[in-house]
Amino acid sequence: MRIAFDAKRAFRNNTGLGQYSRNLLNALFAAYPQHEYYLMTPKTGPLFQPPVADNIHTELPKGLYKPFPSLWRSNGVLHDLSRLCIDLYHGLSHEIPVGLHRTGIKSVVTMHDLIFERYPQQYKAVDVAIYRKKFRYAAGHADRVIAISKQTAMDLHQYYGVPENRIRVCYQSCNPAFAGWLNDEQLQQVRTKYNLPRQYLLSVGSVIERKNLLTVCKALHALKGKLDIPLAVVGSGGDYMKQVKNYIQANGLTDRVLWLSERPGGVAGEDMPAIYQAATLMLYPSVFEGFGIPILESLWSKLPVITSNVSCMPETGGDAARYIDPYDVEAMANAIHEVTSNEHLRKEMIERGVRHAANFTPERCAANVMKVYEELM
């Protein structure tokens, strides 16, 4: 097959959409070298270095479209796809070119979540309108829609009426670096770099209302005098983050919360596996996600997880995580105390986590996606 991808985010995006694109592409390149791969991108970038191989090609806008890369990506790319005799096009993050269905080229789009449909008040109105137009078009016109969780599959059917027979659930993986075990010296280097104590709780993700960090802070307050382990936060935010900080200051928790992303230079991506592996417990009480990648990163890092009993979190955490009502402060506090104080329970959670994480390897992710491609050929 000659397979083209919308590779913009693989080259330019350092958040979850970019990570998904890079992880999937690298896994496909390694497992299925018999195919020709074309990476369609307005610009290259430092985040992605495709392997040097005769079957891997990077395509940039040319001619009249060179000064208008966004226009090329949304429609002008169709000329190049036809010129290259592409069999199948995969939009890796919610979008496909307008008019692709009229070219005879088969299409797949990956839909990560429809969170903006559930919580539009947490987005700018103009962004909601843009997302809705692009996402609805892609979901309505692609030959197959890949959902990264059953939750996202249900949302596609509920909000956009996508028939279930056009949706395929293909779970994502995460950066394989999280599965590589680091020695004590390497972990201590990262503790020293970020001024982390021997034990700490960990929170990873944007500090926004949906991620629900305030419940964690309220649980820390409830545990005052019972637990002396600080919380390290990797993530930034706006108004909600100010609300969380006000609560922390008003309740004497300032020295119990470490804002790693606010240190000079922030947090280096290559240090994240060590930050996970050196932690005591991951706290992820989000009220809604498309997949919840920090849960999987934790399982691969042999880090116990407390997360929410809603949305897709039970899919990602399986039987390994401890689940709570995300707004139940007492349940969160009790779970933190139990997991941090019971070494036997921690060991059981880690062992279950390793087993469950095996369902989300890059190889398995690539195999499931390749099955979708093969359905269409």
pLDDT, tens only, 274-321: 999 999 999 999 999 999 999 999 999 999 999 999 999 999 999 999
- Sorted by sequence, the CB contacts under 8 Å of residue 249 that are 6+ apart come out as none
Element (H or E) spanning 36, and its range? strand 36-40
Question: What is the reported pLDDT for 327?
Answer: 96
User: Helices 16-31 and 362-376 sit at what angle, rounded to 10 degrees?
Assistant: 80
pLDDT number for residue 298: 97
How confident is the model over 242-260, as a mean pLDDT?
A: 97
Strand partners, 146: 110, 168
On the question of pLDDT at 179 being above 90, the answer is no
For residue 37, the SS3 value is strand
Across-strand partners of 2?
Answer: 36
Domains of the chain and any CATH numbers? 2-173+361-376 (3.40.50.2000), 176-359 (3.40.50.2000)
Structure tokens at 306: 């407390």
Can you tell me the mean pLDDT for 136-162? Answer: 97
Q: Quick check: 166 pLDDT over 90?
A: yes
> Coil, strand or helix: which one is 19?
helix
pLDDT of residue 351: 97
Residue 358 has pLDDT above 90, yes or no: yes
Q: What is the mean pLDDT of residues 37-66?
A: 95
Question: Quick one: pLDDT at residue 364?
Answer: 95
Q: What percent of the chain has pLDDT over 70?
A: 100
Residue recorded with tokens 């390497």: 186
The answer to whether 80 touches 97, Cβ cutoff 8 Å, is no
For residue 180, the model assigns a pLDDT of 87
pLDDT-based confidence at residue 16 (cuts at 50, 70, 90): confident
Whole-prediction pTM: 0.92
Residue 320 half-sphere exposure toward CB, CA atoms < 13 A: 29
Which H or E element spans position 314?
A: helix 313-317
Alpha carbons 359 and 362: distance in angstroms, whole number:
9
Rounded to whole angstroms, how far apart are CA atoms 194 and 204?
Answer: 15
